[in-house]
Structure 1
């Protein structure tokens, strides 16, 4: 079985611009760490919490949908 772990020790994480610094729901994204993958984590559990990974195309579609306001709450 192939190893599916991603080494994120050297990742540069970028906090969401919507983060207000008061412990709310904030996410961090590491871009350019692994080809065709976007790692995402919860700021409150960083750096030891879980990391979700998304294919780059799916992440781009998600961000595009948010920017267009096409999300049903």
Structure 2
């Protein structure tokens, strides 16, 4: 995925202390995907999610829920 650096911005959900930093980018011009990456690893991998999936992810994180696929897919 090739996203211009100028498209990335730090999420308001990021830890201001620098420990948990997430950056997001709306993939312009269609806004059909939201890119997500670790701001500490800007050259690392990024996820591309449909806006609905990103909203669901943020909703689960905001409620302290997580999904552990490595543990048989148990929802916690």
Say whether the fold is shared (TM-score over 0.5): yes
Structure 1: 4+ residue segments shifted above 6 A? none
TM-score, length-normalised on structure 2? 0.63
Task: Write the distance in 2 (CA, Å) between the matches of 1:10 and 1:20.
Answer: 20
Larger relative contact order (C-alpha < 8 A, sep ≥ 6)? 1
Q: What's the Cα RMSD here?
A: 2.4
- How many residues in Structure 1 have an aligned counterpart in Structure 2? 65
Look up the match of 1:35: 31
Task: Write the distance in 1 (CA, Å) between the matches of 2:50 and 2:15.
Answer: 24
Counterpart of 1:51 (choices 43, 46, 53) is: 46
TM-aligned CA deviation for residue 51 of structure 1? 0.9
TM-score, length-normalised on structure 1? 0.65
